[in-house]
Structure 1
Amino acid sequence: MEISFAGKRALVTGASQGIGREIVKQLVKCKAQVVAVARNNDLLVSLKQEVPSIEIITLDLSDWAKTEEALQNIGPIDLLVNNAGLAILGPLTEVKEEDVDRLFGINVKSLINATKIVVNNLLARNVPGSIVNVSSQASLVGLNNHTVYCASKGAVDAFTRAAALEYGPKGIRVNAVNPTVIMTDMGRLGWSDPKVAGPMLEKIPLRRFGEVQEVVDAVVYLLSDKSSMITGTCLPVDGGYVAS
């Protein structure tokens, strides 16, 4: 399937590592001009060394005002990937207020703010656009020691549906992808122990975890005109986990 974003500008948050980093690379391969946003300046600089055509912005997206300031003169944006995310796991009885604030600050609040900025950008130019939110299977099923994380990703899915409804008449599509465990560098560290991985793998019909490129491909498809009739959808990339 040939996908081209020639003439399009894309904004990717959480772009410095893992899934976000690979999304940036794939979008550039598909001829998009990419603005990469993340907190870690060193990793962003190394990404730009790999992909010199991109623009980089070092930014803590949890700061609403600084995000507005940094992105207000960003220029035309046609595509948005809200990939920035945070996981803080543990029993509900041990959750701290700061954990809730940090999780919702990144996973929900910053996503809403970035989407608002890009939607205003699209509306001001009276052009269509496509937005993809990186959610999680944790929005669709309960997971042990994930209570607040599950709640934050459930909010992402609800926001995705509502934004799709609100701006569909303007030609702005909003979708989400909902991955299972993905074998990023961090994923391999966390799930390399068979005792940890085994029970989760037993619930995945394909009996394996996902690879980064499998999420990237889903994101790129939903961004593209190949999915022109798809909006308000939360697409599991989970090997069938939620079907089991």
Structure 2
Amino acid sequence: MQFSGKTVIITGAGKGIGRACAQLMAQRGAKVVALSRTQSDLDSLRDEFGAHGIRVDLADPAAARAAMAEAGTADYLINSAGINVLESVLDMTEAGYEAVLGINLRAALICCQEFARARVAAGGGGAIVNITSIAGHRGFQDHLCYAASKAGLEGATRVLAKELGPHGIRVNAVAPTITLTELAAEAWSDPAKSQPMMVRHPLNRFAEAEEVAQAIALLLSSDSSMVSGAVLPVDGGFLAV
């Protein structure tokens, strides 16, 4: 229970990696403040382990700031909220760009800013983990805006680490490979699609959401007290080859 007595804010906590993070952090003793745009997901997290839910559309900057104000001062922040709009370079639309960059990058930076302001006012300390992607390191078809958002968040993570370090706030990121959330498992169930990608992984499999959550918990914990400004691939060796 290494997070006993601590509070963590998790965006995108209703599904996928965010939900796995919420479950793991609760199991390890943390009080979870869950941000999601789906009320039924928040209700299920409350019923499962008493998470405090805040319903919010993070695409709205003012709503994102209001949700972080409602969440209050916490010890940790996990930025898991993310979306993708599959558009090729030639077919990119302004709407697709605004949707993806608005959630994946702008909302994450707003949440980091509001978390940091509260931490500094409380005397400093704390940790942030941003969830990026291997798509920020390798070019994937129809992932133009998604790749830009994730690469941008990694650059921002380094700036955050530099500026917030003097306040005792550590900031890191994890870059997962394809992670078998419920949605992804369906999308990658066809061997004709999944096998060419899987063979690029030395471990010859994709990630489970729980494995990404465990890496995030490590970066938040005191076991990583000297780690800041890092991007940890959780990719089965994909980026190493």
Match of 2:18 in 1: 20
State how far apart, in whole Å, the 2-side matches of 1:128 and 1:36 are.
Answer: 21
Q: Compared with structure 1, are the counterparts of its residues 232 and 11 closer, same or farther at alpha carbon in structure 2 (3 Å cutoff)? A: same
1:71 corresponding residue in structure 2 = 68
Give 1:29's aligned residue.
27
Q: C-alpha separation between the residues in 2 aligned to 1:90 and 1:112?
A: 24
Q: Normalising by structure 1, report the TM-score.
A: 0.96
Q: Given the superposition, is the C-alpha separation of residues 203 and 167 from structure 1 closer, same or farther in structure 2, using an over 3 Å criterion?
A: same
CA–CA distance in structure 2, aligned partners of residues 70 and 19 of structure 1? 20
Identity of aligned residues (%): 39
Post-superposition offset of 1:243: 1.1
Residue 62 (structure 2) pairs with residue 42 (structure 1): no
Pick aligned residue for 1:8 from 6, 21, 26: 6
**Residue by residue, what CA displacement relative to the aligned partner does 1:61-104 show, whole Å, maximum 9, x if unpaired?**
11111222232243321100000000111311111100000000
Give the CA deviation at 1:183.
0.8
Unaligned 5+ segments in structure 2 are none
Q: Which moved more, 1:65-74 or 1:184-193?
A: 65-74
Counterpart of 2:121 in structure 1 is 124
Most deviating of 170-179 and 198-207? 198-207
Aligned to 1:93: 90
Distance 2:110 2:137 in 1: 23
The superposition leaves residues 126-165 of structure 1 with CA deviations (integer Å, 9 ceiling, x where unpaired) of 1301000011011111112211111110001000011001
Q: Report how many residues are paired.
A: 241
Aligned equivalents of 1:131, 1:67: Cα separation in 2: 17
TM-score normalized by structure 2? Answer: 0.97
* Partner residue, 1:157: 154
Spell out structure 1 runs of 4+ moving beyond 4 A.
none
**Does the aligned pair in 1 maintain the 2:9–2:32 contact within 8 Å?**
yes
The question of whether the paired residues in 1 share the 8 Å contact of 2:125 and 2:167 is answered with: yes
CA RMSD of aligned residues (A): 1.0
Q: Deviations over 1:192-225 (max 9, x none)?
A: 1000001111211111111111101000000111
**Aligned counterpart, 1:240:** 237
Identify which of 181, 185, 192 aligns with 1:184. Answer: 181
Alignment correspondent of 1:218 = 215
Mapped partners of 1:33, 1:202: distance in 2: 39
CA distance in 2, matches of 1:141, 1:37: 29
Tell whether 2:201 aligns with 1:204.
yes
